A and B are shown apart, each in its own frame.
Chain A
Amino acid sequence: MDPVVVVGASLAGLSAIDALRAGGHDGDVVLLESAPSLPSDRPPLSKQVLAGSMEPEAARQPLAARLDELDVEVRWGTRVDSFDAASLQLRCATGTELRASGVVVATGAAPRALPGPTLAGVHVLRTMDDCLALRADLDRGPDRVVVVGAGFIGAEVAATCRELGLEVTLLEGAPAPMVRVLPVQVGSFVADLHRAHGVDVRLGVGVEGLDGADGRVRAVRLADGTSIPAEVVVVGIGVVPGTGWLEGSGVPLGNGVTCDETCLAAPGVVAAGDVAEWFNPHFGERMRVEQWEHAIEHGAAAGRRLLAGDGPGAPFGSVPWFWSDQYDRKLQMAGRPSAADEVHVLEGSLEEHRFAVAFRRGDRCTGVLGVNRPRHVVQARMRLAESLDWAPIEELFT
């Protein structure tokens, strides 16, 4: 029997293997990963490891300690180049070919870069190497760090740099941070939080490009013709799903790998984590979620789907949940709101930087976000897992 081949050794890939083994799969499993060793856990890379309060070795994925037990043939430094879904044949950059009995696509996503030549001092943040390179540049005590993009990673990096005592400018093209995924009130709160900590937050500014001298970045050029001097630039303008190797494979691609509600993309091919868009039956929507816990749960569902073989498989319905740490504030959100949803304050107030808000669309609650309100978010999440009806969420807080 050909092995099950898992591509990508991060949260989704390892969790899929865990589910395969837990579900009784005792055949061979081959794990292909382009990185030279087990990727670190990623959340600390913009938080504790960047801040220097956690040793790099401590940033381990939850399943790292159990990898041996899972009885997997791991091939580090092995990038998969191409794939044929009809024959389940994979081709690695090393030239090796491999035929699988089932494939788990768990290749995550890679940060988007700004166009232009490579300049020293310009960073993205996805891997431990990225984090250590940025950290080394911060240790040189730059006069100013410019963060391009006020998404979650950009906002966390800005916060960490401020806490290291550095001057920070945070640039965002949209009128508020995170407006693509959250209503503007929440984005404005994030902007205020950063301003209160001394970050030079500039909204609605387009970045034209970077200026350098002797191969090192010197300034960020803005669309309005001005420029901001910068010795270190961190680019946090989103990610691209890791589907390059699937072009022409017969696996349907759109916003990442297109899967059905059971995580299946093609016969014998499942996908999970940042790379995979699936139909979430709980929301009745297609979504691609770039979150830590989701990658684990989605990976497990994908592993179970492979075990179901030619059977129908179980739908994977979920209420996504994530957290983000900025300064001494912990943001948490359960659900999947959109920018157009109504915002209802359930607890506290945005001004005091400690609150819980619920997002409403018609009769539905699409999500609950808390700032230093972990209990509220988690309780709401349990309710939302039962149903997205608005009334029970409102009751929970009255």
Chain B
Amino acid sequence: MKVVVNFDLCESNAVCMGIAPEVFEVRDDDFLYVLQEEPPEELREQVTEAARRCPKQAITVED
């Protein structure tokens, strides 16, 4: 699984971080960092949920 964030869309509102903190982190500089671009399979549910809940639909999960 590969996580791709469209940073042109991302508004750093950290919804993804709330759901999958192992993968997404918004730091004090207000930017989003993807901690693991290829997260392990056991995080799939959280990552998919984060993609679903992202208000900007900025996250895509590729297989």
How many chain B residues touch A (Cβ–Cβ < 8 Å)?
15
A378 touches B14 (CB 8 A): yes
Write the B1-39 contact mask toward A (1 if CB under 8 angstroms, else 0).
000000000011111011000000111101000000000
Closest to A323 in B: B13
Which of chain A's residues have a CB closer than 8 A to the CB of B14?
374-375, 377-378
B12 touches A374 (CB 8 A): yes
Q: How far is the CA of A293 from the CA of B55 in the complex (A)?
A: 7
Which of these, B13, B17, B28, B53, contacts A332 with CB under 8 Å? Answer: B13
| Interchain Cβ contacts within 8 Å, total number | 41
Which of chain B's residues have a CB closer than 8 A to the CB of A382?
18
Query: Taking A330-B12, A332-B13 as contacts, is the C-beta distance between A378 and B18 under 8 angstroms?
Result: yes
Q: How far is the CA of A19 from the CA of B17 in the complex (A)?
A: 23
Distance in Å from the Cβ of A289 to the closest Cβ of chain B?
15
Can you give 21 A-B contacts (C-beta < 8 A)?
A62-B55, A62-B57, A292-B55, A293-B53, A321-B15, A323-B11, A323-B13, A325-B11, A330-B11, A330-B13, A332-B13, A374-B12, A374-B13, A375-B14, A375-B28, A377-B14, A378-B13, A378-B15, A378-B17, A379-B18, A381-B18
Query: Is the C-beta of A372 less than 8 angstroms from some C-beta in chain B?
Result: yes
A contacts, CB < 8 Å to B = 43, 62, 292-293, 296, 321, 323, 325, 330, 332, 372, 374-375, 377-379, 381-382
User: 7 new A-B pairs (CB below 8 Å) besides A292-B55, A293-B55, A382-B18?
Assistant: A293-B53, A325-B11, A332-B13, A374-B30, A375-B17, A375-B28, A378-B26
Q: How far is the CA of A290 from the CA of B17 in the complex (A)?
A: 23
Interface of A, helix, strand, loop or mixed by DSSP:
helix
Which of these, A293, A296, A330, A375, contacts B27 with CB under 8 Å? Answer: A375
Q: How far is the CA of A325 from the CA of B56 in the complex (A)?
A: 14
Which of chain B's residues have a CB closer than 8 A to the CB of A323?
11, 13, 55
Which of chain A's residues have a CB closer than 8 A to the CB of B12?
330, 374
Q: How far is the CA of A62 from the CA of B58 in the complex (A)?
A: 10
B18 touches A372 (CB 8 A): no
B26 touches A375 (CB 8 A): yes
Closest to A297 in B: B53
Distance in Å from the Cβ of A142 to the closest Cβ of chain B?
29
Distance in Å from the Cβ of B54 to the closest Cβ of chain A?
8
Distance in Å from the Cβ of A376 to the closest Cβ of chain B?
9
Contact residues, B33-63 vs A (CB, 8 A): 53, 55, 57
Q: How far is the CA of A325 from the CA of B55 in the complex (A)?
A: 13
Closest to B9 in A: A58
Which of chain A's residues have a CB closer than 8 A to the CB of B28?
375
Which of chain A's residues have a CB closer than 8 A to the CB of B27?
375
Closest to B16 in A: A378
Which of chain B's residues have a CB closer than 8 A to the CB of A325?
11
Closest to A334 in B: B18
Which of chain A's residues have a CB closer than 8 A to the CB of B57?
62
Closest to B54 in A: A62
Of all A-B residue pairs in the complex, the 6 with the closest CB atoms, nearest first, are A374-B14, A378-B14, A378-B18, A375-B26, A374-B26, A62-B57
A372 touches B30 (CB 8 A): yes
